[in-house]
Structure 1
């Protein structure tokens, strides 16, 4: 019997990347993990029509950079960038940090 490997962890080095890129101390880790979950859930609910398969989150001390991969970027951006500005405001209020989308 062979050893079973986690397919995501096994392929990360070859052709995939982590969905979240940040480091936290033990005290902060749980809070940031829950915050990531809330961000992903809020974006998936808000952007149902945009066909969003993947959301990447990168964090620094007081900033959060979110990359949204979408099949329909026009739905995400909106007219003259109005929709993306709303998303930035909502996420900034949710996290209390400066958010770049």
Structure 2
């Protein structure tokens, strides 16, 4: 079998930056678990707003900065700001509980205080260039019992109208309720996976259908970007 590399990890330090920006010498494992918890919680809580990117930054004083790119940031402006504050409080409570459950005898004094969380929200100008948005749109249609080929073609047309250079979609599982699971893929344009200066966004997710779980992988080629 071929050896696969994650498109983002392969380009770290060349054209991509880390999505978690912090340094920790004593509680590295705990911070890693917290980052995963934050990503899972916010992806689920802000699903209606369309989370396309999430970057976590930590500073001194137990402060966590979360930079979010949303396709619909207007949902949390004005009257929606109260809902965002509720999500923040739930996240702080969840992090506090997680720190108590994770090796209480090893927790530092500074970790016993409640973490401070700040959200920085910006709008994703062109959601069609984001693999997460494309994958979620396909998942939404598959869970509504739309045929997989029609769902992929609809996403491909929207990406083509946005003049994105390339798109590749792979779906695995019991497609359209078939007895035997198989793997199908569709490619549009060019997707140079081995070119390190190629800006490629990648997303892997699942769709829960009445026939079982379908795995979806999406690669979106944006442009050739100069190295850092």
TM-score, scaled to structure 1: 0.80
Q: Is the 8 A contact 1:47 1:76 kept in 2?
A: no
- The alpha-carbon deviation at position 71 of structure 1 amounts to 0.5
Which residue in the other structure is 2:39 paired with? 40
Q: Give the C-alpha shift of residue 80 in structure 1.
A: 5.0
Counterpart-to-counterpart distance in 2, 1:78 and 1:94? 26
Rg (Cα) greater in structure:
2
Closer, same or farther in 2 for the Cα pair 1:5/1:38, shift >3 Å?
closer
In the alignment, is the contact (CA less than 8 A) between 1:55 and 1:67 conserved in 2?
yes
TM-score (ref. length: structure 2): 0.38
Counterpart Cα distance in 1 of 2:6 and 2:43: 25
Quote the RMSD (CA, aligned, Å).
2.1
Alignment match of 1:100 (pick from 106, 109, 118):
118
Answer 1 or 2: which has greater strand percent: 2
Q: 1:88 to 1:6 in 2, by over 3 A?
A: closer
Number of equivalent positions: 97
Structure 2 runs not aligned, ≥5 long = 96-113, 120-228
CA offsets 1:29-86 (integer angstroms, 9 cap, x no match): 0000000000100001111111111111000131000111101102344625112211
Shift of 1:19: 0.7
| Aligned twin of 2:17 | 17
Displaced runs of 4+ in structure 1, greater than 2 A? 4-17, 75-78
Q: Which structure has more RCO (C-alpha within 8 Å, separation ≥ 6)?
A: 1
Specify every segment of 5 or more residues in structure 1 that has no aligned partner in the other structure, as ranges: none
